[in-house]
Structure 1
Amino acid sequence: MEVRIDRPAKARTGVVGLDDVMAGGLSEGHVFLLEGNPGTGKTTIALSFLLEGEERGERGLYITLSETKGELRDGAASHGWVIPDNIDIFELVPPESLLDADAQQSLLYSSDLELGETTKMIFEAIERVQPSRIVLDSLSEIRLLAQSSLRYRRQILALKHYFARRGATVLLLDDLTSDTLDKTVHSVVHGVVRLEELAPNYGAERRRLRVTKYRGQAFRGGYHDFTIKTGGVEVFPRLVAAEHRTGFFGQKLTSGIGELDALLGGGIERGSSALVLGPAGSGKSLFALQFVAAAIKRGETAAMFIFDEELGLLFNRVQAMGFDLKAMQDAGKLHIEQVDAAEVSPGEFAHRVRDRVAEADATSVVIDSLNGYQAAMPEENALILHIHELLQFLNRQGATTFLTVAQHGLVGEMKSPVDLTYLADTVILLRYFEAVGRMRRAVSIIKKRTGSHEDTIREYGIGRNGLTLGQPLEGFQGVLRGTPTYVGEPRPLLKQTGAE
């Protein structure tokens, strides 16, 4: 006999990404903890939680021990919000008698009176308002009044049992200013969300959150990037590629250049990834753009995310080679976006890529370059994991991904800032080499998972007509090292078609 377990209804927080991380929101009728240092966005999320309830016809109560009504309303106004009458703000201040030294009891500690009076006023406010959603800001004040861990725990348990009898969904805020090691509330509440703020050596601060506990409920684990912008908090749930899979028709995508397609064994398979490696100025972006232009010519859409080059310069540079990116953009066939690595987190970037693939049905995605993407990452290991999930997601959506990596050096031994060759399905290697007193360029395919390819090396040129590839360099040895030796019959190299 199948046993059916009825899950409690969810109270949405008003932050879409956070609801996604918590599998729908907060379980109704339970107490949750939202903790983080000052400035991490606790109050903003709390206000979103109450405003979401107000839209659903639920009465809300914000009990504040640390901020004034005016400060809360000003904070809401900064996001374009107006706190409606259906949300009560109860500003809890000590009774006048507790502030008057002459009127204080001398036989009792003032903290004993303050804690009791504080709890009594909280209960009275709840009885008066009869709210469905409650925010208590902040626990640090109660912890200071309790003075001991035992009294603090008893007070939190008393609040929890009182809230449980009321059936309200409660969000407790803790700014971690009194005792960061005290985990008393963690064991009492139904769930815990922790907010963090990181300060990199350069660039804007980074914020992330993690659900550390949620009783009887699966949730999306790990860290999730988020930002605070005008309009509230936006959370970018960590990408899990296994959750996204669609069917698509496999086919080879051509570049429009016969010699390049021949080198690739007929083209690049849809839903695969291609990594273009090479030194600065070798034409990595142009190789990726060649496939984008061919896809748009077939009637498909594409997306390009540019880290390293200003878009105006890119538009002018490639237009001289026959690629009118502005016309593609105006026709709605190309989404091109400049990404500031110092201002965007990896989670937000992955979210942008996902949205573009989902909304515009982009079948070709270019990330130019991973060097810029790496600058947005605190550690190289995290970069590899982020790229792995992003590539897996794009592949399962049937999108073909082109990534570029600038290697250190110009000729001879080359080094990459990060090795992603094992992740990519196809690896295109670009090289400079010197021959007959001139610097020339060579391209080869060093890896292709999805089929056969030429094992030759072809010279290529960049001119007014874009890319031009020549015949295989059969008479040379050491081209990829940059110092070739001619060992074959005399044969002319690729004729130069013009300056870059």
Structure 2
Amino acid sequence: MTPDPGPPRSKARFGVAGLDDVLAGGLAPGRVYLLEGNPGTGKTTIALQFLQEGAARGERGLYVTLSESEAELRDGAASHGWSLRPEISVFELVPPESLLDADQQQSLLYSSDLELGETTRLVFEAVERNRPSRVVLDSLSEIRLLAQSSLRYRRQILAMKHYFARHGATVLMLDDLTTDAQDKTVHSVAHGVIRLEELAPSYGAERRRLRVIKYRGQAYRGGFHDFAIETGGVRVFPRLVAAEHRVAFTRSRQGSGIVELDQILGGGVERGSSTLLLGPAGSGKSLLTLQFIAATVARGEKAALFVFDEEVGLLTDRAKAMGLDLAAMRNAGGLLLEQVDAAELSPGEFAHRVRHSVNSAGIRTVVIDSLNGYQAAMPDERDLILHIHELLQYLNRQGTTTFLPIAQHGLVGDMKAPVDVTYLADTVVLLRYFEAVGRVRRAISVIKKRGGAHEDTIREFRIDGRGITIGAPLDSFQGVLRGVPVYIGTSGPLLDDLPA
């Protein structure tokens, strides 16, 4: 008769922010897992967090180190502000003195035979003494060197796996990939495999990401997930999957506070939609988005502005000169204003920031200024489109209205955007410079709106100390969007002709 295994044990959580989400709750207990990555990718930090989380749950932990001294390990923990809990034991495995003494070395047997067996015996003895629920073995590179052959290495790993299985311990084996990065021996033996990677861009801080390569009998969040090593441990930013997030909301229209602008937009933009503002530098894209932020705050809702391209202090001063007091909105709690450094922030971390602001602060309008700065965080255009697609879909399904300014190359004539994402946006607003009556002027038009009808006219608009002024349709001009219009009539006055 088969004995009753008892109730299933709960998963062994890592205690690493975001990683348990990727692993659908953590690791299945009583199994052997592989955490691999080049030196400096954060394996030791994650392993320590794994043991600290177990200790917080009353589980004993054992850290077996073959490549790092106990003092170095504790110093590394201290750098994150940790003091290893008393439930965690550190076993520093060093070769026996006889193996370091040249006079006592064996001449008839390979020294590796003795060292590998001795190493394994010492590890097992440490497990017998401590009876841990969680074990970290750091690192497999040392065991691979001692084994000297793939067959002996595989047999040794299998023997250790069966030993740990009898004790019911959850084991995390670390591999720094310094001896043979192509060796997949442990991949077939381990219950799950997590790989850490570090990328070095041509400019800016290094980027780190992880991927779950294997997890037997368990669904997990696939693909690459950005992560960062910070004081206090590793933080993982799970890849955003918009389909997993949806809330019920009413698709009402949101106005800008400017009657003429709302008329062009067919009454405003729909809640839970995205608006792309295309135009050359200085054409007024940012100011138009600020107008929608001011209208959101005036309705008693919250807005968020993520600034890539401009220093926040300068933007605040410039907006105040136009009658928009961003500092007052922020101080009143209506506006979340963040400066984003594209060289220091990974795309995954930025998406996490946006998601956190929407979830925790109830943000209803998000402005990412600009898409050019967002692109600088990920030079690969294909990846940019995928990131933007998921982020916009997520925000739309949360009932959050999004505005994305994007600067086009050039000032007049034929202009192109650095990346074409117009098909992703629900509304596209086009801004242009044009020349008329000896002056450089601005024009605005809406070329796409999925949520309903909109004006197909082209209007002049002006930016001054009073803010934005939008004139009547430019019926007397043809070729405004090309930048050099032709005068064809007498109707449709320019803003110069209107009373101040």
Q: Structure 1-normalised TM-score?
A: 0.98
Q: Are 2:198 and 1:200 aligned?
A: no
Instruction: Supply the AA of the counterpart residue of 2:306.
Output: F
Q: Quick one: distance in 1 between partners of 2:291 and 2:8?
A: 52
Q: Are 2:164 and 1:163 aligned?
A: yes
User: SS in structure 2 opposite 1:11?
Assistant: coil
8 Å contact 2:276–2:403 — kept in the other structure? yes
2:122 matched to which residue of 1? 121
1:402 matched to which residue of 2? 403
Q: CA offsets, 1:187-243, max 9 Å, x none?
A: 000000000000000000000000000000000000000000000000000000000
2:307 matched to which residue of 1? 306
Give the gaps of 5 or more residues in structure 2: 1-6
Q: Are 2:180 and 1:179 aligned?
A: yes
Q: Quick one: distance in 2 between partners of 1:270 and 1:388?
A: 17
Q: Are 2:384 and 1:380 aligned?
A: no
Query: What does 1:40-439 align with in structure 2 at a 5 Å threshold?
Result: 40-439=41-440
Q: Quick one: distance in 1 between partners of 2:437 and 2:497?
A: 13
Q: Quick one: distance in 2 between partners of 1:176 and 1:496?
A: 73
Change (3 A) 1:339 1:140: same
Q: Quick one: distance in 2 between partners of 1:248 and 1:384?
A: 26
Q: CA offsets, 1:242-287, max 9 Å, x none?
A: 0000000110100111111110011000000000000000010011
Q: Are 2:25 and 1:24 aligned?
A: yes
Q: Quick one: distance in 2 between partners of 1:403 and 1:77?
A: 42
Q: Quick one: distance in 2 between partners of 1:308 and 1:247?
A: 34
Q: Quick one: distance in 2 between partners of 1:497 and 1:84?
A: 75
Q: 1:495 Cα deviation (Å)?
A: 2.7
Q: Quick one: distance in 2 between partners of 1:419 and 1:169?
A: 48
8 Å contact 1:425–1:450 — kept in the other structure? yes
Q: 1:492 Cα deviation (Å)?
A: 2.9
Q: CA offsets, 1:108-139, max 9 Å, x none?
A: 01011000000000000000010000000000
1:464 matched to which residue of 2? 465
Count residues with an aligned counterpart: 494
Q: Quick one: distance in 2 between partners of 1:492 and 1:472?
A: 8
Q: Quick one: distance in 2 between partners of 1:491 and 1:398?
A: 38
Query: What does 1:417-496 align with in structure 2 at a 5 Å threshold?
Result: 417-489=418-490, 491-495=492-496
Q: Quick one: distance in 2 between partners of 1:48 and 1:434?
A: 63
Change (3 A) 1:172 1:189: same
Q: Quick one: distance in 1 between partners of 2:75 and 2:9?
A: 35
Q: Quick one: distance in 2 between partners of 1:209 and 1:261?
A: 45
Change (3 A) 1:491 1:275: closer
Q: CA offsets, 1:314-337, max 9 Å, x none?
A: 111110110000000000000000
Q: Quick one: distance in 2 between partners of 1:73 and 1:498?
A: 75
Q: Quick one: distance in 2 between partners of 1:207 and 1:316?
A: 36
Q: 1:466 Cα deviation (Å)?
A: 0.8
Instruction: Calculate percent identity across the aligned residue pairs.
Output: 74
Give the gaps of 5 or more residues in structure 1: 1-5
User: SS in structure 1 opposite 2:272?
Assistant: coil
User: SS in structure 2 opposite 1:106?
Assistant: coil
Q: Quick one: distance in 2 between partners of 1:407 and 1:450?
A: 25
8 Å contact 1:464–1:497 — kept in the other structure? no
Q: Quick one: distance in 1 between partners of 2:135 and 2:305?
A: 45
Q: Quick one: distance in 1 between partners of 2:13 and 2:493?
A: 70
Q: CA offsets, 1:337-370, max 9 Å, x none?
A: 0000000000000000001001110100000000
Q: Quick one: distance in 1 between partners of 2:310 and 2:351?
A: 20
2:35 matched to which residue of 1? 34
1:3 matched to which residue of 2? none
Q: CA offsets, 1:32-85, max 9 Å, x none?
A: 000000000000000000000000000000000000000000000000000122
Q: Quick one: distance in 2 between partners of 1:404 and 1:483?
A: 24
User: SS in structure 2 opposite 1:445?
Assistant: strand
Change (3 A) 1:354 1:415: same
Q: 1:168 Cα deviation (Å)?
A: 0.3
Q: Quick one: distance in 2 between partners of 1:138 and 1:103?
A: 27
8 Å contact 2:62–2:134 — kept in the other structure? yes
Instruction: Supply the AA of the counterpart residue of 1:382.
Output: D
Q: Structure 2-normalised TM-score?
A: 0.98
User: Post-superposition, which runs of at least 4 consecutive aligned residues in structure 1 deviate over 6 A?
Assistant: 496-499
Q: Quick one: distance in 2 between partners of 1:369 and 1:433?
A: 23
Q: Quick one: distance in 2 between partners of 1:82 and 1:332?
A: 37
Q: Quick one: distance in 1 between partners of 2:423 and 2:181?
A: 42
Q: Quick one: distance in 2 between partners of 1:289 and 1:486?
A: 33
Q: 1:486 Cα deviation (Å)?
A: 0.8
2:3 matched to which residue of 1? none
Q: Quick one: distance in 2 between partners of 1:288 and 1:498?
A: 26
8 Å contact 2:474–2:492 — kept in the other structure? no
User: SS in structure 2 opposite 1:305?
Assistant: strand
Instruction: Supply the AA of the counterpart residue of 1:196.
Output: E
Q: 1:105 Cα deviation (Å)?
A: 1.3
Change (3 A) 1:498 1:429: farther
Instruction: Supply the AA of the counterpart residue of 1:309.
Output: E
2:4 matched to which residue of 1? none
User: SS in structure 2 opposite 1:304?
Assistant: strand
Q: Quick one: distance in 2 between partners of 1:13 and 1:57?
A: 14
8 Å contact 2:475–2:491 — kept in the other structure? no
Q: 1:164 Cα deviation (Å)?
A: 0.3
Q: Quick one: distance in 1 between partners of 2:498 and 2:146?
A: 80
Change (3 A) 1:31 1:498: farther
Q: Quick one: distance in 2 between partners of 1:378 and 1:461?
A: 34
Q: 1:9 Cα deviation (Å)?
A: 2.4
Q: 1:489 Cα deviation (Å)?
A: 2.0
Q: Quick one: distance in 1 between partners of 2:491 and 2:29?
A: 81
Q: Quick one: distance in 2 between partners of 1:49 and 1:201?
A: 33
Q: Quick one: distance in 2 between partners of 1:492 and 1:90?
A: 84
8 Å contact 1:428–1:446 — kept in the other structure? yes
Q: Quick one: distance in 2 between partners of 1:240 and 1:158?
A: 40
Instruction: Supply the AA of the counterpart residue of 1:394.
Output: L
